[in-house]
Chain A
Amino acid sequence: MQRRSLLWTFFPPVLAVLVLSLVLVTGFAGQAVRAFLVRDTGANLEHAARLTVSTFAVALAAGDEAQVQETCRRYHAMTGMRFTVILADGRVAGDSLEDPGRMDNHADRPEFAAALAGQAGHGRRYSTTLDHQRLYCAVAAAGGDGTPFVVRTSVSESSLAEVMRGALGRIALAGLVLALLAGVTAYLLSRRLRNALARLQAGAEAFARGDLGQRTREADSAEIAALADAMNRMADQLGRRIETIDAQRRELEAVMSSMIEGVIAVDLDETVISMNEVAARLLGQMPPRAVGRSIQEAARDPDLTAMVQQALSSGATVERDVRLGDRAEICVQATATDLRDGEGALIGALLVLNDVTRLRRLEIMRRDFVANVSHELRTPITSIKGFVETLLDHPPADPAETRRFMGIISRQADRLDAIISDLLALSRLEKDTESGGIERVELPVRPLLERLLRDLAARDADGAARLSLDCGGEVRAACNAALLEQAVGNLVDNALKYSQPGSPVVITCTTGPETVSIAVNDRGPGIAAEHLPRVFERFYRVDKARSRTMGGTGLGLAIVKHIAQAHRGHVTAASEVGKGSTFTINLPREVSA
């Protein structure tokens, strides 16, 4: 709809009021003027009649009707009035405009009758003689012979109408001027209002654009100033509120992004509303890309999708373990709950992902450890028990057989002892690490490794021959000599055990800016990548069948790891299948580090 401008809203009513009042004023004024004119003219006519009556009386007394006629004409020429002299019987004796002889009897004229009755006879009627509307006044007087006669004066109404027209014309001109004035006033008023409104509008539009600092100044009228004031207050309030909301949103974002759990919120259409960085990382996604997409698209995991759908449809909390990642290597405890607004209406669902990969791994490790330790302890005990029972129930006749049995029992008991002392060593190390570390001294590494070699040569000459040492005398590390010797010893034992007889094993020392590395490298079969992260676990065996026959306790590398940790260092393993393995102990150079 085309809306009217302010000008056209104001102008027509103002004009209408003006026109109406003009019409009314003109009407009333016209009537008053007319009444005044008629009365005034009537009075004039009467005066003229009374003034002239004596003249006519003289003429009539003389009986000179021509004189009467002549006087009527003369007076007409002087005053513009029509004079008529009517005798008592109604016969016209003289008339200014007509020949009296041709005029009919005027006895029936109302003003004539009134004049004869002794009054001034006023009348306003159509003149049959002259064919138009006229005003009349008749006055009676006594003639020379005592018979009365009447002098009648009259004027045409058209002269009155002329006066009236002149007056009305001026009124109309005044009306036109007033209408113009009204238009100009309406225009000025509307323009002023329009400008004020335009300023308010500009202010409101600035607010809409978000420019809340803008202030509308308006001093025009109290109402508009109040409106401007209200708008300014609104902008202030809005600005404060937006700031609060902004701050809250930033806080929420900060909380969300620093949370350890992944959080995903979806609406009722299963569209992601927000997703924090952890959730995005767990799902292998980019948060800005995920928002606005469906959960099917964003999570790409049927279990999570099903959970969200369940939470949305039932309004209940759903909890489940879900595996994510390319090789399902991430273990996540997912909780889907319904999301409700302040009034308790369902507005979506919230999915919380708790990365429990490490926890699950630890659980598995502990479970495996208990199973393993029982298994490892049981094997020698079963063996010992078997042979002891055999010896008790069926002692072999041959002492050599008895001796052989005893030998086996002794070996298995040694094995038990080795496992238990390794376990004890481990628990002692753990305790030391927890209670603030072991005693460490800064000392050169080379003498320590040489001592290790000498010890080895005493036990295993072949092994010692395969070993080479690449270690400068200047390499110093903060260490507990006995423990470090044990750790390197374990690594060397493993290297010798798992590689082909005769293949070389190299111990290398390198010193970095803050750490010292002692690496033991062999040319054995290597360890597959999937086993590499787990070789330091207790009782973890790469090849379950083989290594037990080699006589290890399954705790050697675990001890190495714990010794390194007790030194505030760490141990790494690198290996390539078929090429060999390198185990490296990294230690800090200084005690304070």
Chain B
Amino acid sequence: MKIHLQREIEQLKKNVFHVSSLVEQSLKLALRAVHESDSVLATQVRERDREIDALEVNVEEECLKILALHQPVAVDLRFVIAVLKMNNDLERIGDLAVNIASGRHCMGGESMPPAFTETMHAMGDKAQAMLRGALESLIAMDTAKARQVLAADDAVDSHYRELCEMLRGEMTRRPGEAQKMICWLLVAKNLERVADQATNIAEDTIYTVEGTIIRHGRG
């Protein structure tokens, strides 16, 4: 029975890693789609999202099966619960990546000041690094890394605020380009959401390892 449970959990782990790698790649593709205004990449992101959705259902069913059949306790139970939750988060990030990829039209027309692209790049890199850190902390069950991810969220938030400020200024200067500014704002907002979801995953990792819930400033 115990061996069965271990095998199921190993399989679950593999599937979660697969989903997470898909999500990570999806975000990567989405950011490239934005910066290179590439519609082929955007299509790929949508395809990936469908795959992620299918796998999400798969992972959830597996979790429920483990809970019903094996009634795990302690760290196994926490792992299954954490997977159930981060499964949701990962699927959300997949959706956000699709949203980001649809912002590929942002780059057309008259070019934006370089400071904008730079900030957007920095923000994309940070959000990606956070997602990667969260997934790595999940793989290695490394709470120190998970806490680094939590700390990095502030940097993304400040980038987001900075970009909002810049976009507002640009909008008043060039009202004709408002459509484009909104597009930029949406991409930035979605990136900021990705970072938030990454912190959720990191929190779930800490929950799995330590058994303490550190959401909502309890940490």
Residues of A within 8 A of B (CB): 270, 293-294, 296-297, 299-303, 305, 326-328, 526, 528, 577-578
Given contacts A300-B21, A327-B32, A577-B114, contact A270 B125 (CB under 8 A): no
Contact: A326 with B125, CB < 8 Å? yes
Residues of B within 8 A of A (CB): 10, 13-15, 17-18, 20-22, 24-25, 28-29, 31-32, 48, 51, 114-115, 117-118, 125, 128-129, 132, 135, 139
* B125 / chain A contacts, CB cutoff of 8 Å: 326-327
Q: Nearest Cβ in chain A — how far from B28, in angstroms?
A: 5
Q: Nearest Cβ in chain B — how far from A545, in angstroms?
A: 9
Contact: B25 with A302, CB < 8 Å? yes
Given contacts A328-B28, A528-B117, contact A296 B128 (CB under 8 A): no
Contact: A577 with B118, CB < 8 Å? yes
Q: Which of A270, A294, A299 has the most CB of B within 10 A?
A: A294
- In angstroms, Cα B10 to Cα A435, docked, is 60
* B139 / chain A contacts, CB cutoff of 8 Å: 293, 297, 300
Known contacts A294-B14, A300-B135, A526-B114; can you find 6 more A-B pairs with CB under 8 A? A296-B18, A297-B13, A327-B28, A327-B125, A328-B32, A577-B114
- In angstroms, Cα B25 to Cα A303, docked, is 9
Chain B residue with Cβ nearest A296: B17
- In angstroms, Cα B139 to Cα A299, docked, is 12
Contact: A294 with B13, CB < 8 Å? yes
* B22 / chain A contacts, CB cutoff of 8 Å: 302
Give the number of A-B contacts (CB < 8 Å). 54
- In angstroms, Cα B114 to Cα A526, docked, is 10
Given contacts A327-B28, A577-B114, A577-B118, contact A302 B21 (CB under 8 A): yes
- In angstroms, Cα B18 to Cα A270, docked, is 12
Q: Nearest Cβ in chain B — how far from A326, in angstroms?
A: 6
Chain A residue with Cβ nearest B114: A577
Contact: B28 with A305, CB < 8 Å? no
Contact: A299 with B117, CB < 8 Å? no
Q: Nearest Cβ in chain A — how far from B21, in angstroms?
A: 4
Contact: A326 with B128, CB < 8 Å? yes
Q: Which of B32, B132, B139 has the most CB of A within 10 A?
A: B139
Q: Nearest Cβ in chain B — how far from A330, in angstroms?
A: 12
Q: List 30 A-B contacts (CB under 8 A).
A: A270-B14, A294-B13, A294-B14, A296-B13, A296-B15, A296-B21, A297-B14, A300-B21, A300-B24, A300-B135, A300-B139, A301-B21, A301-B25, A302-B21, A302-B22, A302-B25, A303-B25, A305-B21, A326-B28, A326-B128, A326-B129, A326-B132, A327-B28, A327-B31, A328-B28, A328-B29, A526-B114, A528-B118, A577-B114, A577-B115
Chain B residue with Cβ nearest A289: B140
* A327 / chain B contacts, CB cutoff of 8 Å: 28, 31-32, 125
Chain B residue with Cβ nearest A305: B18
- In angstroms, Cα B17 to Cα A301, docked, is 9
A299, A526, A528: the one contacting B21 at CB < 8 Å is A299
* A299 / chain B contacts, CB cutoff of 8 Å: 21
Q: Nearest Cβ in chain A — how far from B156, in angstroms?
A: 16
Contact: A578 with B17, CB < 8 Å? no
- In angstroms, Cα B13 to Cα A326, docked, is 23
Chain A residue with Cβ nearest B48: A302
* A270 / chain B contacts, CB cutoff of 8 Å: 14
Given contacts A300-B135, A577-B118, A578-B114, contact A294 B32 (CB under 8 A): no
Given contacts A305-B21, A327-B28, contact A528 B13 (CB under 8 A): no
Chain A residue with Cβ nearest B28: A328
Given contacts A326-B125, A578-B114, contact A297 B17 (CB under 8 A): yes
- In angstroms, Cα B17 to Cα A526, docked, is 42
* A301 / chain B contacts, CB cutoff of 8 Å: 21, 25
* B17 / chain A contacts, CB cutoff of 8 Å: 294, 296-297, 300
Q: Nearest Cβ in chain A — how far from B99, in angstroms?
A: 19
Chain A residue with Cβ nearest B41: A328
Q: Nearest Cβ in chain B — how far from A328, in angstroms?
A: 5
Top 5 A-B pairs, shortest CB-CB distance: A296-B17, A577-B114, A302-B22, A300-B21, A296-B14
* A528 / chain B contacts, CB cutoff of 8 Å: 114, 117-118
Q: Which of B28, B32, B118 has the most CB of A within 10 A?
A: B28
* B31 / chain A contacts, CB cutoff of 8 Å: 327
Q: Nearest Cβ in chain A — how far from B152, in angstroms?
A: 15
Q: Nearest Cβ in chain B — how far from A46, in angstroms?
A: 95
Contact: B20 with A300, CB < 8 Å? yes
Q: Nearest Cβ in chain B — how far from A581, in angstroms?
A: 13
* B18 / chain A contacts, CB cutoff of 8 Å: 296, 302, 305
